[in-house]
Copies of this chain bind each other. A is one copy, B any other.
Amino acid sequence: MVEAPATEEGWFALHEFRSIDWDAWRNAPRHERDRAIEEGRSFLAHREALATAETGDSAVFSVIGHKADLLTIHFRPTLDALSTIERSFENTALAEFTTTESSYVSVTEVSGYVSDAYFEDDEAEIDDGLRRYIEGKLKPEMPDDEYVSFYPMSKRRGEEYNWYDLSFEDRADLMAGHGEVGKQYAGRIKQVIASSVGFDDHEWGVTLFGADPTDIKDIVYEMRFDEASSRYGEFGQFYVGRRFPPSDLGAYLAG
């Protein structure tokens, strides 16, 4: 059996994809819509406000296309906190006008492929820059007012190309090459990688943030030529959207 990478986990993540019941919305009396907007706004704003470097982060995004209208992403230190958030939303008047179309459960993760020093060195010897880098991966912040792309992925276990049959070194080399492509997008694209092994249907959830949506298209396309993706990547559904502040919820629903 080949060696599995060491991993360290950070915040748990819940991605929720909801559609608006536009027929019910259109026909609801104004005071019901106002209440739904206010309770939805308040719920989202509180989740964002409570979120700090210690306690997680939350954000809401509009999603383009029929698969969903709203995406909410929550990062929290425990699965229980995510479960509470999921159920608390159902107590808001906004929930009456939404249906949960999909979701994704994962936990942020760094692995020995990308930071072996972090895993192998004495804790005292890890330099502060690396420590901050790892911290940023495990407790990620979500940038304001940017586009988002989410997709789940797994590594292929084909009869010829089987990621889980490769030696640790081969996998580490492939991940390093993959990282090189990513570095070219530094400052333009921020990514959050979270493991869903044992939690959800693919092995990882990938969330990309960027101020220009064509950068998102470009990085995913360019990485597809990288062996780690071209030979070993298997992708689920893709969602694209844009973050908005909870105070804009009323405007969003007004069309």
Binding site for B on A (CB under 8 A): 1-4, 7, 9, 12, 14, 16-17, 20, 22-23, 25-26, 62, 64-67, 69, 79-80, 82-84, 86-91, 95-96, 100-105, 107, 147, 149, 151, 157-162, 164-165, 177, 181, 195-201, 203, 208, 213-214, 216-222, 224-227, 229-231, 233, 237-238, 240, 242, 252-255
26 pairs, CB–CB < 8 Å, chain A vs chain B: A1-B225, A12-B213, A17-B66, A22-B95, A26-B96, A62-B83, A64-B82, A65-B86, A65-B105, A66-B102, A69-B87, A87-B253, A91-B254, A149-B199, A159-B161, A162-B231, A164-B224, A165-B231, A197-B220, A197-B224, A199-B216, A199-B217, A199-B238, A201-B237, A203-B221, A203-B224
Copies of this chain held together in the complex: 5
A86 to B229 alpha-carbon distance, docked (Å): 33
A220 and B198 form a contact (CB under 8 A): yes
